[in-house]
């Protein structure tokens, strides 16, 4: 169908047909390549050279993948036509030479030489074009090819004879072209008449069949419609009867369920009222107990706070007492009395062990953190940091450490420098 449209010069319709055929060929590479090649021919006839080149590239790729030399020859031949129309005569000759190397049939060789002759004639290379003239004059009368190809060949001979100045020979070839054209047009007309008559007969037969089908459809439709009406009326009556019976049964069932549910609801209401009364009594008792617990909690809280405050004050007083005792022991006094007092207060501990024990009780884990975070502090510097947690005067701290106030100030400055880049907080000295 596409080739017929192409022969009737309906290039747009033929292009659509070839595109549709390509989509239906699936994985058949040679057929897809041939369809792409015919699309390129349509584009050449429509002067869409860019689209024609794209189709030829795709067709050549498919032909090489499918290993089909016949389609490849047709693609190369059309490539030569495209290059000749673009003015790339050397590229056209190259395609035809590549095609000539693998030709094995007379008709393909004839088309290759015809394209070469037209290309050389278009390039005005008459010596090369003249090489193909004897071949055409010899083979045209006997070769079996399409009439259109013969018209093209006689047209080439006529143009060549006219170019070399042999007008009589050119006129002779032109008359053959006219004769062949008339035969082709007549055959096309006969073919068109045949197709028109065939389509007309097919249309008449189709109309007749359609009328019979429509008549039969109408008969079936009326019979079916009547049957549907009868069945519908019967079904509606049965549905209404069944619906009435179902409604009666549902009404009786609902009435029974309603009576049963009403009885159950009355019983549940009585039980709920009883449970509600019990819950109200329990809630009242729970509130009283809760208030008593809150009062006890407040009493214990106040007692705990008071005890904690008293314990803290006692610890601080004990700490100060120990510190005063240490200071006193460092001074002069009666040795025997002081030793007995020391034994009674410190038991078997040294004064600083007693201070550390009370400090660990008041500030758990602080001394261990100080040692881990600042291992570079000396023993005296760590004692200074620990004494900073208590309300100790500078004089008392100097006496506890056994140094002067001036040395104590230097010691504090050294501690601050070592601890200034850390997050360990030291209370403000008094």
Is the CA virtual torsion 240, 245, 250, 255 positive or negative? positive
- C-alpha–C-alpha distance, residues 415 and 411, integer Å: 6
Q: Which residues contact 397 (CB under 8 A, 6 or more apart)?
A: 384, 387, 408
- What does the pLDDT read at residue 408? 92
Whether 344 is covered by a domain: the verdict is yes
Q: Give the model's pLDDT for residue 2.
A: 67
Does residue 314 form part of some domain? no
Range of the domain at 391: 325-419
In a domain, 130, yes or no: yes
pLDDT number for residue 430: 37
Residue 257 lies in a domain: no
- pLDDT of the residue at 405: 92
- Both tokens of residue 320? 């100060």
Structural domain tally of the chain? 2
**Residue-level pLDDT at 331:** 59
> Encoding tokens for residue 424?
């360990």
Q: What is the pLDDT of residue 413?
A: 92
Q: Of 158, 185, 208, at which residue does a domain stop? A: 208
286 found inside a domain: no
Positions of the chain with pLDDT under 50: 307, 332, 426-430
Encoding tokens for residue 398? 């100097």
The residue from 186, 208, 230 where one domain ends is: 208
**Could you tell me which residues come within 8 angstroms of residue 402 by beta carbon, excluding any fewer than 6 positions away?**
330
Q: How much is the pLDDT for 316?
A: 67
How far is it, in rounded angstroms, from Cα 141 to Cα 353?
136
In a domain, 228, yes or no: no
| Distance of alpha carbon 150 from alpha carbon 139, whole angstroms | 10
Q: Which residue has the tokens 């083979």?
A: 139
Q: Could you tell me if residue 107 is inside a domain?
A: yes
Q: What's the CATH code of the domain at 127?
A: 1.25.40.10
393 belongs to a structural domain = yes
Three-state secondary structure call for residue 421: coil
List pLDDT tens digits, range 101-148: 777 777 777 878 788 888 888 878 888 888 878 888 788 877 777 777
């Amino acid at each position: 169908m596409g080739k017929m449209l192409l022969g009737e010069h309906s290039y747009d319709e033929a292009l659509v047909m070839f595109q549709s055929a390509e989509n239906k060929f699936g994985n058949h590479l040679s057929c897809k390549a041939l369809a792409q090649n015919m699309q390129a021919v349509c584009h050449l006839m429509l002067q869409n050279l860019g689209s024609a080149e794209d189709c030829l590239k795709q067709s050549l790729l498919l032909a090489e993948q499918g290993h089909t030399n016949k389609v490849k020859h047709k693609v190369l031949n059309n490539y030569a036509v495209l290059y000749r129309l673009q003015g790339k005569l050397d590229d056209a000759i190259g395609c035809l030479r590549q095609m000539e190397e693998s030709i094995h049939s007379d008709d393909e060789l004839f088309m290759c030489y015809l394209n070469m002759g037209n290309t050389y004639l278009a390039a005005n290379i008459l010596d090369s074009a003249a090489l193909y003239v004897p071949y055409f004059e010899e083979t045209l009368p006997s070769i079996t090819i399409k009439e259109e190809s013969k018209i093209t060949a006689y047209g080439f001979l006529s143009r060549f004879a006219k170019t070399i100045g042999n007008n009589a020979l050119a006129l002779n070839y032109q008359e053959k072209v006219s004769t062949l054209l008339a035969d082709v047009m007549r055959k096309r007309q006969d073919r068109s008449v045949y197709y028109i008559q065939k389509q007309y007969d097919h249309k008449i037969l189709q109309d007749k069949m359609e009328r019979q089908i429509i008549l039969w459809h109408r008969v079936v439709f009326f019979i079916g419609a009547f049957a549907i009406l009868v069945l519908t009326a019967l079904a509606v009556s049965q549905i209404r009867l069944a619906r009435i019976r179902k409604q009666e049964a549902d009404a009786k069932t609902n009435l029974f369920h309603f009576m049963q549910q009403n009885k159950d609801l009355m019983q549940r209401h009585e039980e709920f009222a009883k449970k509600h009364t019990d819950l109200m009594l329990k809630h009242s008792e729970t509130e009283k107990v809760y208030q008593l617990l809150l009062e006890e909690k407040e009493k214990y809280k106040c007692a705990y706070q008071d005890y904690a405050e008293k314990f803290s004050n006692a610890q601080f007083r004990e700490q100060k007492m120990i510190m005063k005792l240490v200071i006193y022991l460092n001074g002069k006094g009666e040795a025997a009395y002081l030793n007995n007092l020391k034994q009674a207060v410190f038991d078997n501990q040294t004064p600083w062990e007693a201070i550390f024990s009370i400090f660990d009780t008041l500030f758990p884990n602080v001394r261990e953190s100080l040692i881990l975070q600042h291992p570079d502090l000396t023993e005296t510097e760590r004692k200074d940091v620990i004494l900073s947690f208590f309300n100790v005067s500078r004089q008392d701290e100097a006496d506890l450490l056994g140094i002067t106030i001036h040395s104590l100030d230097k010691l504090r400055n050294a501690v601050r420098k070592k601890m200034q880049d850390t997050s360990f907080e030291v209370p403000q000295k008094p």
